[in-house]
Amino acid sequence: MLILNKTTGVFSNLSKGKNYEFLRSFNIQPGKLFLHKLVLGIETSCDDTAAAVVDETGNVLGEAIHSQTEVHLKTGGIIPPVAQQLHRENIQRIVQEALSASKVSPSELSAVATTVKPGLALSLGVGLSFSLQLVDQLKPFIPIHHMEAHALTIRLTNKVEFPFLVLLISGGHCLLALVRGVSDFLLLGKSLDIAPGDMLDKVARRLSLIKHPECSTMSGGKAIEHLSKQGNKLHFDFKPPMQRAKNCDFSFSGLQHVIDKTIMQKEKEEGIEKGQILSSAADIAAAVQHTVACHIAKRTHRAILFCKQRDLLCQSNAVLVVSGGVASNLYIRKALEVVTNATQCTLLCPPPRLCTDNGIMIAWNGVERLHAGLGILYNTEGIRYEPKCPLGIDISKEVGEAAIKVPRLKMKP
């Protein structure tokens, strides 16, 4: 248990029977006052331990992050108990570094915001447990929905008014939603199986790109994007999934199965064993990336048309926000630009470092909720993490019933 000495700003870990300097006063001068409300954001939903302090005007005062990517690359994927242990080992240090960088003492915080849903159960538990010990003695607690935080990050960097359309694409999620308010979302479509980032990671592992000299330190998605620049997307004809379904849902598992079979066939043709790098790896990567981009772009196109047809978005100058780890893929962004140009929309993406999981987006979502007076808890008894949690009100069935035909666009990103 963490016990705060309010005079020294030092926490004592009584559960371990030892004291350690933690969350110090950070040389805060006596009488120092912050003119704005300050929120500490903590993120541990998957494999990144992150924290940040953001004020109510959107200024990022300090942040820190510990990435587990290198560890999980070696194991071929995220192992939840390993991720949990790494969160436990780093969360105190990361929060301390974020507060130190911000030159803010714990007593000056207005609230603590922490991701509690959705995500890996073991990872979420670490962040929630740490936060509850912290807020028990300090401040109000604001539980954060991870996907809502991704969706609203753009309002930290750009002046975006409600409503706007958001496409969230990452290693764990893929969805389209209309954002009408801080906690008001209409879900238009989601992945029916796996997320695009997960599929790209699996294809990269199947191609053994970690053994490629140019890709050995990259995540699977980054490796695919990098190698694609050297390949020809036309050498393999992978078909975008769900072409007959006139809805905004996504699917990637069937495509992955086709790709796996193609890789196996090419290995036989080249006379190499599984685990060796194909001479056609770059062409496969390029074709995969192109197919994923086309699939995502078409579903997004239909979502825009649906929202405009129902007057849920402005007919002109509507905004499409793209966020999540896969949003940093420039090829996919360019495919989406083709769609937004054709539909008189503006495409906005947070900076790449804010597309992936981070503490800033959690703190900012806390600020947004603080402003709106939504979900601010002064009594945290009974608060639980939720590994699976939908986003907003699901109207995907209504979207499918509209059966909107999407005009063919030439994707030349």
Answer yes or no: is pLDDT of 394 > 50.
yes
CA distance 354 to 211: 29
User: Is the omega angle on the peptide bond into residue 407 within 30 degrees of 0, that is, cis?
Assistant: no
- At 279-327, the pLDDT tens digits run 999 999 999 999 999 999 999 999 999 999 999 998 888 999 999 989 9
Statement to judge: residues 52 and 137 lie in one domain: yes
Nearest to 368 by CA among 144, 216, 187: 144
- At 49-58, the pLDDT tens digits run 999 999 999 9
For residue 328, tell me if it sits in a domain. yes
Give the range of the structural domain holding residue 282, as residue numbers without chain letter: 157-349+393-402
The CATH number assigned to the domain holding 233 equals 3.30.420.40
Tokens of 235: 């050498």
Domain count, the chain: 2
* Rg of the chain on CA atoms, in Å: 22
Answer yes or no: is pLDDT of 329 > 80.
yes
Tokens of 381: 């008894």
Q: What is the pTM for the complete model shown?
A: 0.88
> Looking at this protein, which amino acid is placed at residue 140?
P
Statement to judge: residues 296 and 315 lie in one domain: yes
For residue 378, tell me if it sits in a domain. no
For residue 97, tell me if it sits in a domain. yes
For residue 281, tell me if it sits in a domain. yes
Percent of the chain with pLDDT over 70: 90
Statement to judge: residues 267 and 363 lie in one domain: no
Statement to judge: residues 133 and 169 lie in one domain: no
Residues in the chain: 413
What pLDDT does residue 68 have? 81
397 φ/ψ angles, rounded to the nearest 5 degrees? -65, -40
Statement to judge: residues 61 and 178 lie in one domain: no
CA distance 211 to 122: 30
Statement to judge: residues 136 and 225 lie in one domain: no
CA distance 323 to 391: 15
- At 20-33, the pLDDT tens digits run 344 333 333 333 44
Statement to judge: residues 127 and 59 lie in one domain: yes
Nearest to 109 by CA among 233, 26, 200: 26
Token pair 């989406």 in the structure block, residue: 336
* Pair 87, 45: CB distance under 8 Å: no
What pLDDT does residue 311 have? 96
For residue 226, tell me if it sits in a domain. yes
Statement to judge: residues 195 and 329 lie in one domain: yes
Statement to judge: residues 257 and 333 lie in one domain: yes
Statement to judge: residues 121 and 63 lie in one domain: yes
Lowest model confidence (mean pLDDT) among 2-6, 147-151, 316-320: 2-6
CA distance 307 to 310: 5
For residue 413, tell me if it sits in a domain. no
* Pair 326, 171: CB distance under 8 Å: yes
Highest mean pLDDT among 6-20, 136-150, 301-315: 301-315
Statement to judge: residues 60 and 171 lie in one domain: no
Statement to judge: residues 114 and 207 lie in one domain: no
For residue 235, tell me if it sits in a domain. yes
* Pair 110, 370: CB distance under 8 Å: yes
For residue 249, tell me if it sits in a domain. yes
Answer yes or no: is pLDDT of 8 > 70.
no
